[in-house]
Structure 1
Amino acid sequence: MKKYGIRFWFIQSFIMMGLICSLIFFVGLQIYIFNTQKPLLDISMTFWLTLYILVILLLVGAYFGIRGSYLIKGRLTDIYLFISTLRSGKLSERIPNFEKDEIGLITEELNHLAEYIQEQVHSMQRLADEKSSLAQTAHTAAVMEERQRLARDLHDVVSQQLFALSMMSSATLRMFDINKEKAHAQLKEISEIAAKAQGEMRALLLHLRPIQLTDDSLCDGVIKLIQELKGKTNLDFQASIDEIEHISKATEEHLFRIIQEALSNILRHSHATKIKLTLTEKENYIYLFIGDNGKGFDPQIDRVASYGLKTMRERCEEIGGIFTIRSKENEGTYIDIRIPRTGRV
């Protein structure tokens, strides 16, 4: 079914009003002629006079319909753009309100709603600060749990890969003089398993870094992390890291762990050679972008690797941020994060 906009509805209403008024005028003339002994107008004259009135009313109706529709549509467009702005995370924006009619009341309520949402985001960030303070008291338990998780990962992944390398290398040595082609194929497979085990080990070592940044700022911590990976991998980093001022400790820690998790996923799964990382601050928002040129994936398909993505999304939402991921097979993965800055230290 074809849908018409509010402009068409306005013009149609005014034109219909012109038609109805012209019809009433014509009927009134006919009643006048019928009830008058010597009418001043005949039927032909009433027809042309009605036609003239109809044209005038149609033109006037079309003019006021277009004018009214522009006014109403313009104000509704402002409301639509404001709602889209709120949805994108820019909670500090407000829509100007010059009228006190029904649309003006809707605009005023939307501004109140934006203020309420912004207060809720600040409350979430305050709760994140409190959560960070409580987390430090449970640091010992968290360290033990992390060690157990790493031990399980080492046993389930790296240990099995090393065992497979040992078995395959022994078998390759025995068959090297018998079937060199098969031995060459197995050596190639051994090389691939070793590279995968190396990536897993680097990702696990990445998680061994302390959760807190201690005396380092977020900028310094991220730069050290990148320099460490540059020295241990062949990854090409394109990094732009700005110093973020007036940022809470909880937000710093969450962003640092998000970056750690993203780099860990790249080491484990992407087979990427280039990574672009941007951390900047603009207009009271902190922007984080992490992209790679790896094999990518379909975000709609649930995978085991998506556990890391869920963790990053949860950390982002805990501090009131917006988490967006774009990926396509053989075209890399790109993560955009925007977090409102509270101004608290």
Structure 2
Amino acid sequence: MDNQRKDRRIKWLILLIPTLTIGLWEYVRHAFLLPYFSMDLGNLLAPFIVLAVTLTLVRSLFSRLEQSQQALQREKGANAALEERERLARELHDGISQSLFLLAVKLDQLDEMKTDGPVRDLAAGLRETVRVIHEDVRQAIANLRLPPSPAAAAWVVPLRELLGETAEITEAQAEFIWSIPDKSLTDKEKVELHACLREALINVRKHAKASKVFVIGETDGSGGFRCAVEDDGSGFGSDPMHAPGRFGLRMVRDRANGMGWTFHAERREDRTVVELLKRGGQPV
């Protein structure tokens, strides 16, 4: 609301300044300068005076108005991103999370039945799988409901915490290397990067058996960036994009393609790398 009032004042000033300038010039000319300026010369100078005022005061006001409009658009984009995150969190909670809970209850009922060893073992394995998936969904809901802050790299904090949790669970060494200025990323880029890097970290936690894990974010010096999750684990074994039951990296690839980024998931020397690249000057 304050920005809207400010914008209205700027618009009124833009409209009134040329009129006030002419009025003030005519008053000064008739009151003080008439003995020194002829009417024709005064009329000739009037448009140049208005032009000079326009190029100074009015141009500055237009610049401030444009900045205010850009800030308003950024705020609307941030609010839209927050609303989308909240909608996704509700869908996860009301859909997948509730279904997993009911499935866990049914598995408990199956376990209480008088069944033989193989069936009981299968139920226990399924229950553990459901527990892990349910925990992932709960964490996704919590991350979606965490409001991104305009403070420097505040949105990266959950990734750093997830890296620490991954290192603790897998007993691996972890290093967080991040040098991308927060202001160089749009709200949409932050949301997509967070989702992609989080999925890559969860993939490391579940499958890599790594002793070292790295999260890297760096600029390329021309407005682009490189973000990656690297580990020294067992690798993919086969093409991760076609492995049965492995959907996480495919979703990362689809998100990257939707943003126009380059996606790599491959083995490089002694490291497995999941990488996102944005070229300098590339539109969002």
Query: Normalization by structure 1: what TM-score?
Result: 0.46
What is the correspondence of 1:154-233 to structure 2 with a 5 Å cutoff?
154-175=93-114, 178-210=115-147, 212-215=148-151, 217-218=152-153, 221-223=155-157, 225-231=159-165
What residue number does 2:179 align with?
243
Shift in Å, 1:326: 2.5
Shift in Å, 1:325: 1.5
What residue number does 1:287 align with?
226
CA contact (8 A) 1:286 1:340 kept: yes
Shift in Å, 1:158: 2.2
CA contact (8 A) 1:279 1:289 kept: yes
Residue 337 of structure 1 aligns to which amino acid in structure 2? L
What residue number does 1:309 align with?
253
Say which one has the larger Rg: 1
User: What SS class does the counterpart of residue 239 from structure 1 fall into?
Assistant: strand
Task: Give the Cα–Cα distance (whole angstroms) in 2 for the partners of residues 169 and 132 of structure 1.
Answer: 53
Residue 171 of structure 1 aligns to which amino acid in structure 2? L
Task: Give the Cα–Cα distance (whole angstroms) in 2 for the partners of residues 209 and 237 of structure 1.
Answer: 26
What is the correspondence of 1:1-345 to structure 2 with a 5 Å cutoff?
134-137=73-76, 139-175=78-114, 178-210=115-147, 212-215=148-151, 217-218=152-153, 221-223=155-157, 225-231=159-165, 234=169, 236=172, 238-244=174-180, 247=181, 249=183, 251=185, 253-266=187-200, 271-273=206-208, 274=210, 275-281=213-219, 283-284=221-222, 286-291=225-230, 293=233, 295=236, 297-299=239-241, 306-315=250-259, 317=260, 322-327=261-266, 334-340=274-280
| Root mean square deviation of aligned Cα | 3.9
CA contact (8 A) 1:290 1:335 kept: yes
For each residue in 1:122-146, what CA deviation from the matched residue of structure 2 results, as whole angstroms up to 9, or x when unmatched? xxxxxxxx98852422544543443
Size of the alignment, in residue pairs? 199
Residue 276 of structure 1 aligns to which amino acid in structure 2? F
User: Any gaps of 5 or more consecutive residues in structure 2?
Assistant: 1-68
Query: Normalization by structure 2: what TM-score?
Result: 0.54
Task: Give the Cα–Cα distance (whole angstroms) in 2 for the partners of residues 152 and 168 of structure 1.
Answer: 24
Task: Give the Cα–Cα distance (whole angstroms) in 2 for the partners of residues 192 and 304 of structure 1.
Answer: 15
User: Any gaps of 5 or more consecutive residues in structure 1?
Assistant: 1-129
For each residue in 1:93-113, what CA deviation from the matched residue of structure 2 results, as whole angstroms up to 9, or x when unmatched? xxxxxxxxxxxxxxxxxxxxx
Shift in Å, 1:172: 0.5
User: What SS class does the counterpart of residue 127 from structure 2 fall into?
Assistant: helix
Task: Give the Cα–Cα distance (whole angstroms) in 1 for the partners of residues 197 and 173 of structure 2.
Answer: 11
C-alpha spacing 1:242/1:250, structure 2 compared with 1 (3 Å): closer
CA contact (8 A) 2:225 2:279 kept: yes
Residue 124 of structure 2 aligns to which amino acid in structure 1? L
